[in-house]
């Protein structure tokens, strides 16, 4: 658990738009999705003997939303611009804080980077604008457990170590979206770029946590987080769950972005 504490400390430091917006983003908003088949996975927390959690087939964006794509959204939905968003729906200190202005997402390179600094409310509205939704925690974790060759590599030491390295050496600023084939399902950039919102970002913690504590239990940030974990060595999963436990719907974090599902 000392290793987990050290990693958490590092972490603490650490619808259609116009053609012009499409070009700025480097691709058409919402054009690329992949289908994930129905399957099962084991959540981080559970009771001994629990069956794996079933996940129905769904579709997920191949890539995270870019700054250019989010720019197209706020152009059409001005209530979500940085200077207009209601404080109830976003912490204005962090909301799109790295943009130069309400409609200035940067140059062509910047607009190909994942958008960050969006609240849960804004992420949800963005996905709805695209005719989609946020993925659930179970869907996101199911997709994230896949390596390039295996549907569930979460207990493979090399996979766990690779994710830890990605999480603790996250580049600043974030680079443009990655190219290539992605994981086994064709999903790209789930690890090492932006963290990503889920529809039920903290409610699932309550049902999955076998200790029977609430999503705001700060024991998640210390060694006792391992109590009830199905895999105490899965440090990347602990980091993701700890992050979600510390969020509120209006939080706008400089490393937290959005990817949509359907």
pLDDT digits (tens, 9 = 90+) for 52-100: 899 999 999 999 999 999 999 999 999 999 999 999 999 999 999 999 9
Contact between 260 and 101 under an 8 Å Cβ cutoff? The reply is no
Q: Is the pLDDT of residue 138 over 90?
A: yes
β-strands 256-257, 195-196: how paired?
Answer: parallel
pLDDT per residue over 29-56, tens digit each?
Answer: 445 999 999 999 888 766 667 788 999 9
pLDDT per residue over 109-134, tens digit each?
Answer: 999 999 999 999 999 999 999 999 99
Listed residue (179, 192, 176, 197) closest to 24, CA to CA: 176
**Token reading at 83:** 């200077």
pLDDT in the model for residue 179? 81
β-strands 195-196, 39-41: how paired?
Answer: unpaired
C-alpha 166/C-alpha 181 separation (Å) is: 18
Contact between 158 and 148 under an 8 Å Cβ cutoff? The reply is no
C-alpha 33/C-alpha 31 separation (Å) is: 7
Distances (CA, A) of 189 to 46, 128, 166, 167, 239: 27, 22, 11, 12, 17
- pLDDT winner (highest mean) among 1-5, 80-84, 159-163, 209-213: 80-84
C-alpha 225/C-alpha 260 separation (Å) is: 29
Distances (CA, A) of 170 to 63, 119, 242: 17, 20, 17
Instruction: Please give the model's pTM, rounded to 2 decimal places.
Output: 0.81
C-alpha 118/C-alpha 244 separation (Å) is: 14
Match 């607009």 to its residue by tokens. 111
């Amino acid at each position: 658990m000392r290793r987990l504490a050290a990693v958490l400390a590092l972490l603490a430091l650490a619808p259609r738009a116009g053609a012009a917006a499409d070009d700025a983003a480097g691709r058409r908003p919402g054009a690329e999705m992949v289908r994930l088949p129905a399957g099962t996975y084991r959540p981080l927390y559970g009771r001994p003997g629990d069956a794996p959690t079933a996940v129905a087939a769904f579709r997920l964006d191949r890539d995270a939303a870019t700054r250019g794509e989010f720019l197209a959204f706020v152009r059409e939905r001005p209530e979500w611009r940085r200077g207009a968003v209601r404080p109830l729906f976003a912490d204005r200190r962090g909301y799109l804080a790295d943009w130069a202005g309400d409609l200035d997402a940067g140059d062509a390179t910047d607009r190909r980077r994942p958008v960050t600094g969006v609240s849960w409310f804004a992420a949800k509205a963005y996905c709805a604008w695209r005719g989609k939704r946020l993925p659930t925690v179970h869907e996101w974790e199911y997709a994230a457990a896949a390596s390039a060759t295996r549907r569930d590599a979460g207990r493979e030491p090399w996979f766990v170590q690779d994710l830890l390295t990605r999480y603790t050496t996250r580049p600043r600023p974030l680079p443009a979206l990655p190219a290539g084939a992605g994981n086994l399902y064709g999903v790209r950039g789930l690890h090492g770029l932006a963290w990503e919102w889920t529809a039920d970002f903290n409610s699932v913690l309550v049902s999955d946590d076998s200790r029977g504590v609430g999503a705001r239990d700060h024991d998640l940030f210390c060694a006792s987080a391992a109590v009830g974990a199905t895999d105490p060595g899965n440090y990347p999963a602990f980091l993701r769950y700890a992050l979600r436990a510390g969020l509120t719907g209006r939080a706008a974090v400089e490393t937290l972005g959005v990817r949509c599902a359907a």
